[in-house]
Amino acid sequence: MTSYGADLLVILPELIVVGAACLLLVLEPLTPPSRKELLAWLSLGALALCIGLTGGQISVLNLRVSAFSDLVVVDGYARFWKLLLYGVTGLTILMSLPYLKAERLQLGEYYGFILLALSGMMVMVSGADLLTIYLGTELMSLSLYVMAGLKRSSPRSLEASAKYFVLGAFSSGLLLYGISLLYGVAGGTKLGAVAAAIGSRGFDDPLLLIATILLAAGFGFKLAVVPFHMWTPDVYQGAPTSVTAFMAVASKAASFAAFLRVFVEGLGGLKADWSNLFLLLCLVTLILGNLVAIVQTNIKRMLAYSSIAHAGYALIGLVAAGRGMGESGGASGLASVMLYLALYAFMTLGAFAVIGMFRKGGLEGEDIEDFAGLAKRQPLAAFLMLVFMVSLAGIPPTAGFIGKFYVFMAAVEAGLAWLAVVALIFAAISAYYYMRVVMVMYMREPDPSAGEVPQLVASPALTVVLACAVAGVILFGLFPNPLVSLALQSVLPLK
C-alpha cells in the first residue's frame, strides 16, 4: 500500500462520516417528507461503522499513528474522545427524531449537518498541527451556526444563530491570530515543532505571552468559560432543544480535547505560566456560572449557566496538571478532565431529553414552572429528571459525584487544596438551583389557569436515550473503575 493509501486508512472514520454527510445532503431533496426518518437511520449506520473501526483499536491504546506528514495523529487520546463523540452524536440523532416530528420540522439536512459537525470534532481531537485543529474547529462551528437557526419560523432561533455566528467569527479571528504569532516564534505550526522551539521559555517573551492569551481566548469561547461565555445562554435558549444538547456535550468535549492537546503537546513547556492563567479563568467561571444560574427561571438558560460552571470544574483538572508533581501528577489531572467530560455527557443529555419530552407533549417545557406537579402526572419522567439533577449537583452515588471527586483529588495532589475547597463550596451552592427543579416537580401543583396538562409520552427513540443516560449516570456512579482506567491509559504525556 502506498503512503497516501496508508494515510487515508488512518482517517477512514473521518472519511466515512464526511461521505455519509454528503450522501444525506444529496438524498434529502429526493426523499419524500414521510420517509425523512430513513436519513436518520443512515446516519446511525455510519456511526455504528465508525464505532466498530475505532472501538476495535481500544486494546492498543498505546499505538500512535500519524498521517499526512504528522498533520493528523491517531492515538489513545484521540480514540477516547472519538468514541465519546460517536455515542453523543448517536443519542442526539435519536433524541431529534421525536423532537423534529413534534416541531413539524422535516429537515433531512439536519442529520447531514450533525455529521459534518462531528467530522470537524474528529479532526479537532486528532489534529497534531495548529492549522489542522483550526480547520476542524471551523467545520464544527459553521455546522452548529446553521443548526442553531433551523427553526426558521422562530425569531428567537434566528437570533441565536446570528449571535453565535458573529461572536464565533470573532473568536475564530483571535484563535487564528494567536496561531500566526506562534508560527512567527516557532517557524511552524505543528505541535511538535512549537514545543521544540519554545522549550522552557517563559512569558518573558512578549510574543509567546500574547499568543498564549489569544489561544486561550479563542478556545475559551468554544469552552464557554468566563469572560467568553456571553453567547451561551441566548444560544442555548434559542436553538432547538436537541441542538442545544449536542452543543452542550459534543461541542464542549471536542473543544476541551483540542484545547488540552494544544496546551499539553504544544505549549507544555509553559505549563508553569499558563496554569496561573487558567487558575484565574477557573475561579471566575465557577463564581459567575453558579451564581447567575440561581436567578434563572428558564431551564435551558439555567443549564447554560450550569454548563459554564461545569467548564470551570473541568479546568481544575488542567490547572492541577500544570501544577502537578511529576509526570504522574500531571497525568491524573488530565485524566480527571477526560473523565469529568465523559460523565457530564450522560447527565446533560438526559436532562435535555426530558425537556424534549415536554415539547412532544405539547408544552414549551422551558420554564422551570412547567415542571410543576410532574411527579403526579408522570412519575417516571420526574424520577429521571431527579436523577439527572442530583448527578449534575455532584451528589453521591451518581456519576456527577465521581467526576467532581476526581478533579478535586487532582487539585489536592497538585498542592491546590484551597482550590478544591472553593470548588466544593460552589458545588454546594449549585445544589440550590438543581434541587429547585426537583422541588417544583414534587412539591408544586400545576397552575390551574393553564388548563388541562397533557400526558408526556416518550417515543421508542427517546426511551433509548433516557435509558442510556440514566444507566450511565447510575452505573458509572457505582462502578467508575473501567472508565477511570480508560482515561488514565488514554491520557497525553505532560512534558
Q: Evaluate whether residue 150 is within a structural domain.
A: no
Band the pLDDT of 363: cuts 50, 70, 90. Answer: very low
Q: Record the pTM.
A: 0.91
Residue 72 has pLDDT above 60, yes or no: yes
Burial of 187 (0-12, 13-18, 19+ CB in 10 A): exposed
What is the rounded CA–CA span in Å between residue 277 and residue 263?
12
Structure-model confidence comparison of residues 413 and 58, the more confident one: 413
Structure-model confidence comparison of residues 365 and 213, the more confident one: 213
> In one letter, which amino acid is 149?
G
pLDDT digit string (tens) for 293-312?
998 888 889 999 999 999 99
Into how many domains does the chain fold?
1
Q: Which residues contact 434 (CB under 8 A, 6 or more apart)?
A: 306, 389, 390, 392, 393
What does the pLDDT read at residue 324? 66
Cell reading at 149: 437557526
Q: Write the CA distances from 5 to 10, 75, 121, 161, 323, integer angstroms.
A: 9, 19, 23, 39, 42
What does the pLDDT read at residue 362? 45
Q: Evaluate whether residue 432 is within a structural domain.
A: yes
Q: Evaluate whether residue 197 is within a structural domain.
A: no
Band the pLDDT of 361: cuts 50, 70, 90. Answer: very low
What is the rounded CA–CA span in Å between residue 412 and residue 410?
5
pLDDT digit string (tens) for 331-347?
888 899 999 999 999 99
Domain range holding 340?
267-495
Q: Evaluate whether residue 113 is within a structural domain.
A: no
Pairing of strands 72-74, 65-67: antiparallel
Q: Evaluate whether residue 277 is within a structural domain.
A: yes
10 within 8 A of 91, measured Cβ to Cβ: no
What is the rounded CA–CA span in Å between residue 152 and residue 105?
10
pLDDT digit string (tens) for 443-464?
877 666 554 554 555 678 888 8
Q: Evaluate whether residue 446 is within a structural domain.
A: yes
Q: Write the CA distances from 418 to 171, 282, 318, 322, integer angstroms.
A: 32, 13, 16, 16
Mean pLDDT over 28-41 rounds to 80
Band the pLDDT of 200: cuts 50, 70, 90. Answer: low
Report the greatest alpha carbon distance in the chain. 71
Helices 417-443/271-294 angle, 10° precision: 20
Q: Evaluate whether residue 487 is within a structural domain.
A: yes
Mean pLDDT over 83-91 rounds to 93
The angle formed by the CA atoms of residues 345, 348 and 354, to the nearest 5 degrees, is: 135
What is the rounded CA–CA span in Å between residue 77 and residue 342?
13
Residue 316 has pLDDT above 90, yes or no: yes
Q: Which residues contact 426 (CB under 8 A, 6 or more apart)?
A: 286, 287, 290, 309
What does the pLDDT read at residue 356? 81
What is the rounded CA–CA span in Å between residue 186 and residue 93?
42
Q: Evaluate whether residue 274 is within a structural domain.
A: yes
What is the rounded CA–CA span in Å between residue 160 and residue 154?
10
